[in-house]
Structure 1
Amino acid sequence: MTDVTPTMTFHPQPTPGTPAPWAFPAPERGTIANGLTVLHCHRPGQQLVAVDIHLDAPLAAEPEGLDGIANILARALNEGTDTLDAEQFAAELERAGATLDANADHPGIRVSLEVPASRLERGLTLLADALRAPAFPEDEIERLVANRLDEIVHEAANPARRAAKAFYAGLFDAADRLSRPRNGSAETVKNITRAAVQEFYAAHLRPGTATAVVVGDLTGVDLPALLESTLGRWTAEPTAAGVHAPVTADDHARVIIVDRPGSVQTQLLIGRLGPDRHDPAWAAQLLGTYCLGGTLTSRLDRVLREEKGYTYGVRAFAQPLRSNPDGSGRALMAISGSVDTASTAPALADTWTILRTLAAEGLTDAERDEAVQFLVGVAPLKYETAGSVASTLADQVEQHLPDDFQAEIYKQLSTLDTASATEAVVAAFPPDRLVTVLVGDASVIAEPIKELGIGEVTVIS
């Protein structure tokens, strides 16, 4: 028997080519006859078209005692029209391969449609009917109210939700809508009726103060004509766009403990007000905040998770709240996570040490480089779908930002130096100006927290 020596042929290893330049898509802007503003982006190959509509119905406009009515209205938009009941409307969406979602937040109501490009006309027709002539059936409104009341019960058992509720209530004045739950409380939601929903709809959902964002493969589509024949059928008396009150808050250093007897973990929410996207420091703040707590390799995670084992993860972030066309607006700067109960005080002590060290020594060039590599490098993947592009453009609309805002942010991130990122994140998280909310067992954590000296400690139930 002859021995056979196996051989292997090695082919040349492929070498990467030069990456193609990328920039966030630039939309085209226009207006149709009913006053609806339209932004659109032609994205060849993206056969699932995304349509996001921003409606000028902010939570601050909700009638007194009816917090949550904007949320109920948003959920009711796909519960039937003047020609289709709720089941028929759902069936027509399914037949078109479309999904329709809506939600309410402080800037307004957002309605999102995704539909195959081949059925765009049908999808836009259904969307237009939902906006033009929603049925708001009484039994469906009652069902949505009951569902929301059930959700509130479940939210009370969720430490993260309880922390957020206590944080906003403690940070903002009681008269400010920001201080109260976005989707309403049990005391207000139970008062919502079909008549109240109809009245809120008539007062605030108007094409003249709305903006539609359309993103996807629009090859062969006469978009202006299509929009006129669908969304253009939605009409209402013109009205001026709303103006939000300036965002103010009491962010003097203090600790609020929401007592949760027997809890084996403590939910943390630490923060204050900071600049929003209108501020020239936003890009630097974004970069610095990512270095502080944006990923598993950030400073907070490196110490609290990797070195000390207190937590599965802690994150730092900036959340824009509401803004006006003149650029007046603020963002919530926050650190969020959970730790085991016994480690609550040590974790907070280490967090404050991290913040003070950051102020004294600054970020490193390596931290800056890694953050830029991720934030800028991941963008082409992040915005690969039409839905992600449409959502970001709609965010810009509701925050009164220029159409090229996101593209400019990526340019700024690429060139920002370490000193600028350090200055911005230090200003955003001053250790002596932070409100701390803890949801946990007060009998265990209160006294050790008081000894830290990070602010007056108050315990609430």
Structure 2
Amino acid sequence: MLQSRPVPGAPKPYTFPRPRRVQVGGGTVVAIDVPGQLYASVRLVQRSGGAAEPLDRMGVATLTGEALEDGILGDSSLAPALERHGAEWACRVSWDSFVTGVDAPVNRITDATALFAEALRTPALRADDVVRRRDQLVERFALENSMASTLAARSIGGQLFSGRYATPLGGGPARLRALTPESVADFHTSTIASVAGTLVVVGDLAGVDLEALGRTVFGDAAPAVAQPVAAPGTGDGERPRIVVLDRPGSVQSALVLAHRAPSRAEIDLVPAESAGEVLGGMFNSRLNMELRERLGYTYGVGCRFDLRRDAGVFYISTQVEAPTTAHSISTTLAEIERLRSDGANEGELTSVKESNTVGLPVAYSTSRALASALVEIVVHDLPEDHVDRLRAGYERLTAEELHAAAERYLRPEEAVIIVAGDAGELRGSLEDLDVGPVEVRDPETLWG
């Protein structure tokens, strides 16, 4: 006999766990104790990200992060050493940070962290390992650029910024090839091995000696020095404009509409991201409903703010059938203007609020997720109750606030529209849009 479907209950309130802070030598341990969570996450946060790289060594942070996995013996020795403890290496380089660590069973966290600390502070960095990793990055860069969506996304920085942000985070091929084992060793010595940083630890920490973990990871490294924050330069060229990355014979076009946004500290985050979600960040967003559900041009649309310590980017991305490229752009611009002029309706407001509140207990149910949130708090100097403030902000969000954010933060008049597709087939229809000048580029010349 079939039973009736259960009726969902009211969403349970969620409060982000309060971390404990312990000062150890030159660094700080920030920990969340999660009883019963027997798989722990350990992350060391250092502010040696891509934005701080010298222009003649762009990509050195990414290459160093790759080379660390070769461990203290070289030749990819770290991963098998960690596997003996059921542990896994973690490394992520962003514009603002260099984050390394391990995930491990709590009862092996001491041994796994010791291996991680060894690899971080005293890696072999053998010349042949570094060259092998560098060549792999160059090959990977070219392979990934064969995907139109990746090519278009990587081109954003060069259209909006000058200086370091004009080249992708991992460095372009020419810059990567110029990196030497000596440049990696210099970067590691000056900005990784000698800087304590902040150690994030999440899991069932009953019986875990946080001070001992801190001493293991920090050693005698010095406290981190505050990095100056200055707005990056602006890229050349008229705006708005369309840049076509020529891919002769392409049957699809990858589209990116991007413009600069405020930095992470300057933006009013909840209303701004809500406007982006209504526009293109949810399945039932306006662009997804129009371009995918009604017109059938695409499988989906993405829309988000990429917010850094000194700048930000807003972008919309999708892939469409080549003949629909121009109409997809005009439709996107029309939906932006409609949101800016009319704001969101009650259904959209409810969707945004629920998508950012109801699922929080699941979103933060793992050590990795909690550690990731703590990493963001450390990198951007956010208050410890940052997640709770966000939840409260979404709960009290009004249609008027969302409308004001759309008017303030969505600026198509300052945008560059990047099209990775067949320029010969597309140029005429793109010029007919009268959005701005149409420029055709050979992708091979982007990062010379």
Task: Give the structure-2-normalised TM-score.
Answer: 0.92
Counterpart in the other structure of 1:30: 22
Partner residue in 1 for 2:225: 240
Residue of structure 2 aligned with 1:377, choices 353, 358, 363: 358
Corresponding position of 1:227: 214
Q: Distance in 2 between matches of 1:186 and 1:146?
A: 9
Alpha-carbon deviation of 1:279? 3.3
Paired residues of 2:91 and 2:101 also in contact (CA < 8 A) = yes
* CA-CA distance at 1:378 after TM superposition: 1.6
Distance in 1 (alpha carbons) for counterparts of 2:77 and 2:240: 54
Map of 1:179 onto structure 2: 166
Partner secondary structure for residue 22 of structure 2: strand
**Native 8 Å contact 2:343 2:400 kept in 1:** yes
Pick closer, same or farther for the CA change 1:117–1:237 going to 2, 3 Å.
closer
Partner of 1:196: 183
Amino acid at match of 1:27: P
**Shift, 1:86, TM fit:** 4.1
Distance 1:16 1:125, change over 3 A: same
1:458 Cα deviation (Å)?
0.8
CA contact (8 A) 2:196 2:222 kept: no
CA–CA distance in 1 between the matches of 2:54 and 2:39? Answer: 38
2:41 to 29, 43, 50: 50
Matches within 5 A, 1:19-418: 20-33=12-25, 35-81=26-72, 84-86=73-75, 88-173=77-162, 176-206=163-193, 208=195, 210-228=197-215, 230-233=216-219, 235-237=220-222, 240-250=225-235, 252-279=239-266, 281-321=268-308, 323=309, 329-418=310-399
| CA distance in 2: counterparts of 1:447 and 1:46, whole angstroms | 59
- Cα distance, 1:239 vs structure 2: 5.9
Aligned partners of 2:253, 2:345: CA distance in 1, in Å? Answer: 31
- Please state whether the residue corresponding to 2:357 is helix, strand or coil: helix
The one-letter code matched in structure 2 to 1:56 is: R
Calculate the TM-score normalised by the size of structure 1. Answer: 0.90
What runs of 5+ residues in structure 1 fail to find an aligned partner? Answer: 1-7, 324-328
The alpha-carbon distance between structure 1 residues 87 and 105, as it changes in their structure 2 partners (threshold 3 A), is: closer
**Gap change, CA 1:14 and 1:435, over 3 Å in 2:** closer
Separation (CA, whole Å) in 2 of partners of 1:249 and 1:203:
29
The residue identity in structure 2 corresponding to 1:201 is H
Distance 1:203 1:18 in 2: 53
| Residues 316 and 17 (structure 1), Cα distance of their counterparts in 2 relative to 1, 3 Å cut | closer
The structure number with the bigger radius of gyration is 1
Distance in 2 (CA, whole Å) between partners of 1:423 and 1:409 is 18
Q: CA separation in 2, counterparts of 1:299 and 1:187?
A: 40
| CA offsets 1:383-408 (integer angstroms, 9 cap, x no match) | 11110110121122122222222221
Query: Tell me, what secondary structure is at the counterpart of 2:259?
Result: strand
Residue pair 2:47, 2:97 contacting (<8 A) in 1 also: yes
User: What's the secondary structure of 1:268's corresponding residue?
Assistant: strand
Counterpart Cα distance in 1 of 2:295 and 2:10: 42
Instruction: List gaps (5 residues or longer) in structure 2.
Output: 443-448
What one-letter code is carried by the residue in structure 2 that aligns with 1:245? A
Q: How far off is 1:190 after superposition? A: 1.5
Task: Report what 1:420 is aligned to.
Answer: 401
> Offset of 1:364 from its aligned partner?
0.2
Work out the CA distance in 2 between the residues paired with 1:343 and 1:446.
Answer: 13
> Secondary structure of 1:90's match?
helix
Sort the Cα spacing of 1:297 and 1:236 in 2 relative to 1 into closer, same or farther, 3 A. same
Classify the secondary structure of the residue corresponding to 2:154.
Answer: helix
For 2:321 and 2:6, locate their aligned partners in 1 and report how far apart those are by CA, in whole Å.
49
Cα 1:211–1:90 shift into 2, 3 Å: same
Instruction: State the percentage of identical aligned residues.
Output: 29
Classify 1:317/1:87 alpha carbon distance in 2 versus 1 (closer, same or farther; 3 Å).
Answer: closer
Instruction: Name the amino acid aligned to 2:35.
Output: P
User: Are the structure 2 counterparts of residues 402 and 194 from structure 1 closer, same or farther at C-alpha, using a change threshold of 3 Å?
Assistant: same
In the TM superposition, what whole-angstrom CA distance separates every residue of 1:25-59 from its partner, at most 9, and x where no partner exists? 222222201x1122110011111101121122122
8 Å CA contact 2:71–2:124 kept in 1: the answer is: yes
CA distance in 2, matches of 1:459, 1:19: 51
Task: Write the distance in 1 (CA, Å) between the matches of 2:175 and 2:277.
Answer: 37
- Most deviating of 278-287 and 358-367: 278-287
The match for 1:451 is 432
